[in-house]
Amino acid sequence: MFKWQPRAVGLAMVSLVAVGLAPAAATAADGDDGRWHFRVVPYLWLPALDASADVTLSRLSTAEGTELGPVSLTAKSSPDDYLSNLSMAFMGMGEARKGPWSIYTDLIYTSFGSEDSSVRGVTGPKGFLRTEIGRKAKLDLSTTVWTLTGGWRAIERENFELDLMAGTRYLTMDSDLKLTLQGADGRFYRERKVSLDQDVWEGIVGLRGQILFPGSDWFVPFYADIGSGGSNWSWQALLGVGYRFDWGEVTLAYRALGYEFDQNDTDMTLYGPGLGVGFRW
């Protein structure tokens, strides 16, 4: 019997940060002229993955005959680990706005295989396992995250815009984690493969907007949401800085995405910088 239990951090909503590179509210330049205004933003996000897991290794014994029993591990994967094994990725956002009302969508798809994960700690039923026990993990992961919301402009000032929003988020994830524990003398302890599949819909609520600088083309986009449904709860967040052009804008931002599942006690957190280029008409 195997259990995967990533432990995620749940503090992002308090940070006033946003859900993707593109979720900034419409700019003041759009105006309220009764027409539809549109924005499309392809972007690149290279997140690190933090996770912890409880894996039950039944009747697993060391060379000295001590049974290890359930094992908890914390692992991390960074872009340096998975870029060479990236099979495919697509990231993009779209927004339509008319007056105070807006429709926003964001899509992330990534797929990579056999990438190394850094196992930062392994804990047995009696505490931390000895440092001479080698810890290795390889991860195959395919993930799609799709967000769709409707929004209403609650505040619009010369230097500040804020939208309230509600909608849905869909996550589908196929994941295989291979864990190897091995002694310092090269003697093999145990290798296990843990499969984790998720396919969930969530209802979400949140806010998004931007801080503007009158007389300047610079702006600060922000976004935060929280959801529940297929998972125990989830959150997304972003804070960035952008520069506006006649044709659109360029945004550099820091983004985070977290999930916590009751089923299989699963948590995970993705976080890192990203760059987006937006086009509007």
Domain boundaries, the chain: 12-280
Q: What percent of the chain has pLDDT over 90?
A: 42
What average pLDDT is seen over the chain?
Answer: 75
For residue 20, the model assigns a pLDDT of 37
205-262 pLDDT per residue, tens: 999 999 999 999 999 999 999 999 988 889 999 999 999 999 999 999 999 999 888 7
* 180 within 8 A of 136, measured Cβ to Cβ: yes
What is the secondary structure of 194-241 as a DSSP string?
EEEEEEEEEEEEEEEEEEE-TTSSEEEEEEEEEEEESSSEEEEEEEEE
> How far is 154 from 158, CA to CA, in rounded Å?
14
Most confident of 20-29, 148-157, 194-203: 148-157
| Per-residue pLDDT band at 124 (split at 50, 70, 90) | low
Model confidence band, residue 41 (pLDDT cutoffs 50, 70, 90) = very high
Instruction: Assess whether pLDDT exceeds 60 at residue 166.
Output: yes
CATH number of 12-280: 2.40.128
Local confidence band at 22 (pLDDT 50, 70, 90 cut-offs)? very low
Q: Is there a contact between 215 and 244 (Cβ–Cβ < 8 Å)? A: no
- The model's pLDDT over 68-100, given as tens digits with 9 standing for 90+, comes to 555 565 666 666 666 666 667 789 999 999 999
Per-residue pLDDT, 11: 35
